[in-house]
Amino acid sequence: MFKFALLLFLVATLARSSTAATVVSCLEDHGLEVEDSQSPNWMDATTPFNTRFRYIPAAIVYPKKTSDVSEAVLCAVKYGLHVSALSGGHSYSASGYGSRNGTLVVNLRNMGRISPHSSSDNNFVIQSGIRLGDMASELYSEYNRSMAHGTCPWVGLGGHAGFGGWGLASRNWGLVIDQVIAAELVQADGTVVNVSATERPELYWAIRGASASYGIVTQYTMKTQEAPVNVTRFAYNFAFNFTADDRAPERFAEILSAYQNWSFTAPKEIGIVANVWQLGQDLELGGIYMGSRTDFDPIAASLLNATGEPSQRYVQERSWIEALEEVNGVTKLSTEGIPEPRDTFHAKSLVVSMENPLAPDSFSKLAKNFTTSIPSNFSWFIQFELWGGHNSHISSIPADATAYPHRNHHWTVQFYGRTNGSWFPQYTEFVDGLADTLAQGKELGAYANYLDPYLQGWKKKYYDRNYARLEEIRKKTDPSGVFLKSQNIGAAD
Ligand SMILES: Cc1cc2nc3c(=O)[nH]c(=O)nc-3n(C[C@H](O)[C@H](O)[C@H](O)COP(=O)(O)OP(=O)(O)OC[C@H]3O[C@@H](n4cnc5c(N)ncnc54)[C@H](O)[C@@H]3O)c2cc1C
Ligand SMILES: *[C@@H]1O[C@H](CO)[C@@H](O)[C@H](O)[C@H]1NC(C)=O
Ligand SMILES: *[C@@H]1O[C@H](CO)[C@@H](O)[C@H](O)[C@H]1NC(C)=O
Ligand SMILES: *[C@@H]1O[C@H](CO)[C@@H](O)[C@H](O)[C@H]1NC(C)=O
Ligand SMILES: *[C@@H]1O[C@H](CO)[C@@H](O)[C@H](O)[C@H]1NC(C)=O
Ligand SMILES: *[C@@H]1O[C@H](CO)[C@@H](O)[C@H](O)[C@H]1NC(C)=O
Ligand SMILES: *[C@@H]1O[C@H](CO)[C@@H](O)[C@H](O)[C@H]1NC(C)=O
Ligand SMILES: *[C@@H]1O[C@H](CO)[C@@H](O)[C@H](O)[C@H]1NC(C)=O
Ligand SMILES: *[C@@H]1O[C@H](CO)[C@@H](O)[C@H](O)[C@H]1NC(C)=O
Ligand SMILES: *[C@@H]1O[C@H](CO)[C@@H](O)[C@H](O)[C@H]1NC(C)=O
Ligand SMILES: *[C@@H]1O[C@H](CO)[C@@H](O)[C@H](O)[C@H]1NC(C)=O
């Protein structure tokens, strides 16, 4: 019996690479929970949200506290491994797994606690391994508080807050990074530092848009808002028949162009997106207005006066939490006990600025593009997200105030194509073709949270003029590239 166990142990050890085995011993010597290729759960533990990407880590470590994270970084450095934080694992390209094989992945799933910062403010200390759905649900039910953040309950705060973090309340309250007052960070040499406007302001600047290049954020101190009692949920649908109606592309363009023009002066209390789905028979303008239906009615009237009559209207007052559930299509936001969702997809984003809006005919060209030669067994959507406009909190912040640069922002347009498993190059080409058609040769920015691993010229597109300063800071804080990976600061363009 004992001999058999010993034999199994030897076989298991030999099957690992020697670096993986030594880093695992180092982590285990510190009493940390670790998984590697010998773990029965390894397949699941290494499957990211986007199943098109799979990187095999040297090991995955599950810290419970900040000092565990620090020890994990030091073990990786000792054996010459790169380190990558994994929070919700919802990166579009599995970047949390390190974007290459052989990384030490620091999975923050055991670090998701929320606690009030102090009795004299309404700030909260939130560990970065929490999922957005759990965060929203706990802030609301325990404290009657709320924040602006993205919609998918499964997205992790760590990645979301790392590169911006937009949601339907963001025009009112800002991006997630705009609500970050301070953060605790484990650096490449294992040291733990706090960053804020007064402590290490350069790092505080850098983590608000490019955190993954500077270390592992273990917790954020966040500004919160009293949860509104009611908000107004709305959705207006416009129907088309592109196969039967030659004028449909022009009508489609007119509505989007009217929405774009209206967006410039939209009040900050409105969170709105236009969604177009498969075949484009349906265009929906929907979102949340952070106020009563009575206050919303004249705003809706001005929008619909510009777009023309929708074929369907939906307007309903909802409690804050009901509204969040509704926009996510879920009955509860907490992720507890629900199996991790996965998808197989390619996505792209275009950032449209206020001074360079899209020409009306780019929308009709888009409609002509997506109604021809759609690949089979493939579905897609395009989302025209209103981030800016003159009244938006997002655009009230100077472009160099945080690492995230797109402050003269109007829309973020997201293109997303998916399948049920297999992937062919024509799917990627279709999605890229939609984005190219809408851009009409304009050099537009991109959003680093809608990560596109094939993006050419990402330094300028994600970070614009802030890139050079980000690179200067990174050279000082991570000179040997412990956190370096594809599309992190310092990587090849
Ligand atoms: C279904 C879905 C809906 C989405 N909706 C929105 C939306 O409404 N608004 C929006 O803005 N975005 C949205 N996103 C994009 C989302 O914000 C990003 O994919 C985000 O980076 C995912 O964070 P994560 O922690 O889940 O990802 P992970 O894969 O765990 O991490 C992503 C990146 O962040 C790094 N990272 C993670 N944690 C830390 C940390 N603690 N410290 C330093 N670096 C860290 C990782 O190393 C990796 O580089 C959505 C994504 C999905 C899949
Ligand atoms: C990563 O490892 C897997 C499994 O060994 C292998 O199939 C894949 O090609 C590797 N990827 C890279 C980029 O080396
Ligand atoms: C960082 O700040 C937190 C919260 O204020 C505190 O608990 C922690 O000890 C600080 N860490 C360092 C390294 O100063
Ligand atoms: C929650 O906050 C709202 C203000 O937006 C307030 O009117 C309401 O009474 C609060 N609810 C509780 C339970 O404290
Ligand atoms: C579009 O019109 C064609 C021809 O009239 C019809 O066959 C088709 O069902 C219509 N499609 C939709 C989505 O209504
Ligand atoms: C939106 O504004 C642009 C520029 O002023 C104009 O060309 C376009 O016709 C407007 N669109 C609509 C639908 O009114
Ligand atoms: C509706 O639009 C017309 C111009 O198209 C404008 O004159 C009118 O004031 C608008 N009405 C409202 C309620 O915005
Ligand atoms: C909130 O909305 C519900 C549903 O419309 C309504 O019954 C309730 O009176 C509203 N509460 C407040 C405080 O406006
Ligand atoms: C995926 O499978 C479901 C169920 O079989 C089907 O309804 C759906 O259309 C498929 N989606 C794609 C993109 O092929
Ligand atoms: C689409 O999916 C169906 C069902 O899985 C399959 O039979 C068919 O061959 C697929 N078609 C293509 C073009 O991949
Ligand atoms: C869509 O646009 C792309 C980029 O301009 C182009 O390569 C592709 O051929 C177009 N597809 C169709 C069906 O028009």
Could you report the per-residue pLDDT of 451-493, keeping only the tens digit for each? 999 999 999 999 999 999 999 999 999 999 999 999 999 999 9
Q: Is the CB of 42 under 6 A from ligand 2?
A: no
CA of 307 from ligand 6 middle (Å) equals 11
Closest CA to 46 of 76, 89, 93, 108: 89
Count H helices, E strands: the chain?
Answer: 15, 18
**Whether 223 and 244 share a structural domain:** no
Same domain? For 244 and 359 the reply is yes
| 484 within a domain of the structure (yes/no) | no
- Residue nearest ligand 11's atom 3 by CA: 433
Of all protein residues, the one whose alpha carbon is nearest to atom 10 of ligand 3 is 194
pLDDT tier at 126 (50, 70, 90 boundaries)? Answer: very high
The protein residue with its alpha carbon nearest to ligand 5, atom 2, reads: 244
Is the distance from the beta carbon of residue 43 to the nearest atom of ligand 7 less than 6 Å?
Answer: no
Q: Is residue 11 included in any domain, yes or no?
A: no
Q: How confident is the model at residue 280 (pLDDT cuts 50, 70, 90)?
A: low
Q: What is the mean pLDDT of the chain?
A: 95
Q: Is the pLDDT of residue 119 over 80?
A: yes
The answer to whether residue 482 is domain-embedded is no
Q: Is residue 493 part of a domain?
A: no
User: Is the domain of 274 the same as that of 419?
Assistant: yes
**Ligand 5 pocket residues where CB is under 6 Å:** 241, 243-244, 281
**Consecutive H or E run containing 232:** strand 230-239
Domain extent at residue 394:
231-463
Same domain, 471 and 323: no
In this structure, the residues whose C-beta lies within 6 A of any atom of ligand 1 are 49, 84-92, 95-96, 108, 128, 150-152, 155-156, 158-160, 162-167, 211-212, 216-217, 449
Q: Is the CB of 227 under 6 A from ligand 4?
A: yes
Alpha helices in 149-269, H assignment, sequence order:
157-163, 170-173, 201-210, 248-263
Question: pTM of the predicted model, to two decimals?
Answer: 0.95
Region of poorest pLDDT, from 19-23, 68-72, 121-125 = 19-23
Q: Does the beta carbon of 181 sit less than 6 angstroms from any atom of ligand 2?
A: no
Nearest to 447 by CA among 437, 462, 457: 462
With b for 16 or more beta-carbon neighbours within 10 A and e for fewer, the 89-114 pattern comes to bbbbbbbbbbbeebbbbbbbbebbeb
Same domain, 189 and 244: no
Distance (Å, whole) CA 304 – CA 172: 22
Task: Tell me, yes or no, whether 119 and 179 share the same domain.
Answer: yes
Q: Do 264 and 374 reside in the same domain of the chain? A: yes
Nearest ligand, CA 200: 3
Q: In terms of domains, do 366 and 245 share one?
A: yes
In a domain? residue 488: no
The rounded Å distance from CA 237 to ligand 6 centre is 21
Query: Where do we find the tokens 């994994």?
Result: 86
Any idea which of 6-20, 165-179, 200-214 has the lowest mean pLDDT? 6-20
Q: In total, how many domains does the chain have?
A: 3
Span 127-179, pLDDT tens digits: 999 999 999 999 999 999 999 999 899 999 999 999 999 999 999 999 999 99
Q: 170 C-alpha vs ligand 6 centroid, how far in Å?
A: 26
* Structure letter (DSSP) for residue 131: B
